[in-house]
Amino acid sequence: MSRRFSIGLTGGIGSGKTTIANMFAGYGAAIVDTDLIAHELTCPQGLAMPAILSRFGAQFINPDGAMNRQRMREHVFSNPDARHQLEQILHPLIRQQTEQAAQTTPGLYLIFVVPLLTESGNWRQRVDRILVIDCDEQTQIQRVIQRNHLSQQQVIAIMHAQATRQQRAEVADDIIFNDGDLHLIRQHVFELHRKYLQLAGIPPDQN
């Protein structure tokens, strides 16, 4: 089987990755979302749970066997060593599951949604193109406060564990500035979709 044309989609917390990936899915792209995979790995009986229990202890596990996300978030974003340990458990499993999902998810071309694409070395070699979702940091902060009910300080601590806007811009082939009217953003997404079809060698009337 020949390898499908693939795009790595990234952006900072709250930039709009999921919103925009959903728009591409509406045009027929296959979406493999590494955040969703990370959630599956840490749900009750998730593949990562035995290692998380043994490394972090029972206080990080909910009664149903899932990871206690709030407690873990508070722990790892104030403690870089703990964050690296959690990543060492999760990232190899995320990679494995991502590769499997890439084989089995149907769609015209593949979009990998990867929050830490800029930070984690070898994605450049794994995809044909990188799409960055960008927006003002103040907008990111406001969105995450509103959506997750975190404090401004907590959101800033997460942003400090991520690449800067400048670092992401440096790896981008395409950028969507997602800080305005979603109708205009949808138009931009459609233009990029047509460009990706062309780069993938798929006639536009097949979608």
Ligand X SMILES: CC(C)(COP(=O)(O)OP(=O)(O)OC[C@H]1O[C@@H](n2cnc3c(N)ncnc32)[C@H](O)[C@@H]1O)[C@@H](O)C(=O)NCCC(=O)NCCS
Ligand Y SMILES: Nc1ncnc2c1ncn2[C@@H]1O[C@H](COP(=O)(O)OP(=O)(O)OP(=O)(O)O)[C@@H](O)[C@H]1O
The conformation of residue 10, written as its DSSP 8-state character, comes to E
Q: Is 139 annotated as a binding residue?
A: no
Give the span between the Cα atoms of 165 and 142, in whole angstroms.
Answer: 17
Give the span between the Cα atoms of 80 and 88, in whole angstroms.
Answer: 12
In this complex, which beta carbon is closest to ligand X, that of residue 55 or of residue 83? 83
Give the span between the Cα atoms of 61 and 74, in whole angstroms.
Answer: 14
Which of 20, 31, 32, 72 binds ligand X (CB under 6 A)? It is 72
**Can you read off the two tokens belonging to residue 50?**
């035995």
Binding to ligand X (CB under 6 A): which residues in 87-106?
87, 90, 94
Q: Give me the least distance between CB of 143 and ligand Y, in Å please.
A: 4
DSSP secondary structure of 26-65: HTT-EEEEHHHHHHHHTSTT-TTHHHHHHHH-GGGB-TTS
| Binding partner of residue 8 among ligand X, ligand Y, none, CB cut-off 5 to 8 Å per kind | none
Binding to ligand Y (CB under 6 A): which residues in 124-183?
143, 147, 178, 182
Assess contact for 31 and 21: CB atoms under 8 A: yes
The conformation of residue 78, written as its DSSP 8-state character, comes to T
Question: Is 3 one of the binding residues for ligand Y (CB under 6 A)?
Answer: no
Q: Is 195 annotated as a binding residue?
A: no
Q: How many residues does the chain have?
A: 207
| Binding partner of residue 11 among ligand Y, ligand X, none, CB cut-off 5 to 8 Å per kind | ligand Y
Which of 35, 99, 170, 191 binds ligand X (CB under 6 A)? It is 35
Q: Give me the least distance between CB of 203 and ligand Y, in Å please.
A: 30
Give the CA-trace dihedral at 142, 87, 163, 134, to 10 degrees.
-50
Q: Give me the least distance between CB of 49 and ligand X, in Å please.
A: 12
Q: Is 180 annotated as a binding residue?
A: no
Q: Which residue has the tokens 């009337």?
A: 205
Q: Left if phi > 0, otherwise alpha if psi is -120 to 50, otherwise beta: which for 199? A: alpha
Question: Is 158 one of the binding residues for ligand X (CB under 6 A)?
Answer: yes
Size of the site for ligand Y (CB under 6 A): 15
Q: Is 16 annotated as a binding residue?
A: yes
| Binding partner of residue 76 among ligand Y, ligand X, none, CB cut-off 5 to 8 Å per kind | ligand X
Going by the annotation, the residues of the binding site for ATP are 14-19
Q: Which residues are annotated as a binding site?
A: 14-19
Binding positions for ligand Y, rule: CB under 6 A? 11, 13-19, 35, 115, 143, 147, 178, 182, 185
